[in-house]
């Protein structure tokens, strides 16, 4: 998911060009950068601010406000654990605690082996199968601590 700084610069320039002339382009640009590069660095913020004639503080404010945006390079896989009410009602906090223990990190952290970054999600849209976990773009429902351990073992072998 990560790119070299040179690749990141050319990717950013391409994304800015694709969104030129669009009304309200900040959020689509931020999503595109994170999708392409994996995170939004301070250098990205500065370049986006210049391109949109915004202050770095304005762009950083948007990046830091939304939980979705990462400011540091993630691990190879991103693990989202749903913390919404439906998942909590189905003992999601047990799955959440297990994820934190097994990966050895809190939300926003990356495991020591660099394989997993743990992120909180506030609804993955899978309430009927709560609790829910998503790894990269793969959604898992009815995730108990034991099932999560098996899922993470599978992803470690990829």
Query: For 33-87, what is each residue's pLDDT tens digit?
Result: 999 999 999 999 999 999 999 999 999 999 999 888 999 999 999 999 999 999 9
State how far the Cα of 49 lies from the Cα of 30, in Å rounded to an integer: 11
Report which of 3, 49, 43 is spatially closest to residue 25, judged by C-alpha positions: 49
Q: How many CA atoms lie within 13 A of 42 on its CB side?
A: 0
Same domain? 116 vs 58: no
Task: Kindly indicate the confidence band of residue 9, based on its pLDDT and cuts at 50, 70 and 90.
Answer: confident
pLDDT for res 7? 63
Question: Does some domain include residue 43?
Answer: yes
Distances (CA, A) of 105 to 31, 57, 71, 96, 99: 25, 29, 17, 11, 8
Question: Does some domain include residue 70?
Answer: no
Q: Is the pLDDT of residue 5 over 80?
A: no
Of the three residues 39, 65, 91, the one that is the final residue of a domain is 65
106 lies in which domain range?
77-156
Q: Quote the pTM value.
A: 0.81
Task: Kindly indicate the confidence band of residue 4, based on its pLDDT and cuts at 50, 70 and 90.
Answer: very low
Q: Is the pLDDT of residue 1 over 90?
A: no
pLDDT for res 2? 42
Query: For 101-155, what is each residue's pLDDT tens digit?
Result: 999 999 999 999 999 999 999 999 999 999 999 999 999 999 999 999 999 999 9
CB atoms < 10 A from the CB of 28, how many?
A: 13
pLDDT for res 68? 84
pLDDT for res 67? 81
Of the three residues 19, 36, 65, the one that is the final residue of a domain is 65
Q: Is the pLDDT of residue 29 over 70?
A: yes
- DSSP letters of 59-70? HHHHHHHSTT--
Question: Does some domain include residue 144?
Answer: yes
Same domain? 99 vs 131: yes
DSSP label at residue 71? S
């Amino acid at each position: 998911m990560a790119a070299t700084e040179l690749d990141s610069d050319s990717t950013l320039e391409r994304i800015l060009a694709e969104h030129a002339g669009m009304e309200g382009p900040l959020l689509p640009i931020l999503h595109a950068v994170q999708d392409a590069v994996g995170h939004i660095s301070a250098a990205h913020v500065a370049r986006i601010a210049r391109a949109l004639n915004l202050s770095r503080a304005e762009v950083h404010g948007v990046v830091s406000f939304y939980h979705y945006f990462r400011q540091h390079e993630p691990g190879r896989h991103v693990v989202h654990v749903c913390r919404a009410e439906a998942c909590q009602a189905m003992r999601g906090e047990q799955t959440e605690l297990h994820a934190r223990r097994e990966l050895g990190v809190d939300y926003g952290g990356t495991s020591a082996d660099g394989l997993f970054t743990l992120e909180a999600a506030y609804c993955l849209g899978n309430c009927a199968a709560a609790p829910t976990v998503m790894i990269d773009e793969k959604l898992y429902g009815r995730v108990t601590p034991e099932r999560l351990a098996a899922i993470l073992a599978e992803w470690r072998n990829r």
